[in-house]
A and B are shown apart, each in its own frame.
Chain A
Amino acid sequence: MNRLLDFRLDEARWQSQEHAVTDAPRDHGDAVLGSALRTLPSSRPPVDFAADVARTAACAGLAAGFTHPGERLLMKALGIAMAAGLGGCTLVYGEAWNVAIALAFGEGALHWGLLGGACLAISCLPWRRLLAFAGRAPAMQRDWRDGP
Chain B
Amino acid sequence: MSAMPSTPPSDDAIGADRALVAEVLSGAPGAFERLVRTHQGLCWHVIERMVRHPEDTRELCQEAFLRVHQALHQYRGDSALKSWIAQVAYSVAKRHLERRRIPLADVPEDTDGLSMVERVADGFDLEQSASDHEAAAHLHAAIDRLPPLQRTLLTLYHLHELSIGEIGSITGLADGTIKSHLFRSRKLLRALLESHQGMFAA
Contacts and interface: CB of A to CB of B under 8 A. Distances in A.
A44 B108 CA distance: 32
B44 to A, nearest CB: 5
B124 interface: no
Contacts of B37: 50
Given A9-B179, A36-B136, A38-B159, A148 B84 contact: yes
B200 A32 contact: yes
Interface string A1-35: 10111011100011101110111000111101101
Contacts of A18: 1-3
B114 interface: no
Contact of A23 (B3, B70, B179): B3
B155 A40 contact: yes
A148 B66 contact: no
Contact of A147 (B87, B136, B154, B201): B87
A87 interface: no
A130 B148 CA distance: 35
Given A37-B154, A45-B40, A148-B74, A29 B197 contact: yes
Nearest to B143: A40
Of listed B34, B70, B75, residue having the most chain A CB within 10 A? B70
Interface string B145-170: 00000000011001100000000000
Nearest to B79: A148
Nearest to B2: A18
Contacts of A147: 67, 71, 87-88, 91
Interface string B165-198: 0000000100011011101101101100110010
A17 B183 contact: yes
A32 B136 contact: yes
Contacts, number: 157
A118 to B, nearest CB: 33
Given A18-B3, A32-B200, A39 B180 contact: no
Q: Which of B48, B67, B186 has the most CB of A within 10 A?
A: B186
A7 to B, nearest CB: 5
Interface residues of B, number: 66
Contacts of B67: 147
B93 to A, nearest CB: 11
A43 B132 contact: no
Interface of B: 1-4, 30, 32-34, 36-37, 40-41, 44-45, 48-49, 54, 57-58, 61-62, 65-67, 69-71, 74-75, 84, 87-88, 91, 94-95, 105-108, 132, 135-136, 139-140, 143, 154-155, 158-159, 172, 176-177, 179-181, 183-184, 186-187, 189-190, 193-194, 197, 200-201
Given A40-B154, A54-B32, 18 more contacts: A4-B105, A4-B107, A4-B108, A4-B181, A32-B135, A32-B193, A36-B143, A40-B143, A40-B158, A42-B48, A42-B49, A45-B40, A51-B33, A53-B66, A54-B30, A56-B66, A57-B32, A148-B88
Closest 10 pairs between A and B when the two form their complex, measured CB to CB: A22-B3, A54-B33, A37-B158, A36-B139, A36-B136, A50-B36, A50-B37, A28-B200, A147-B91, A29-B193
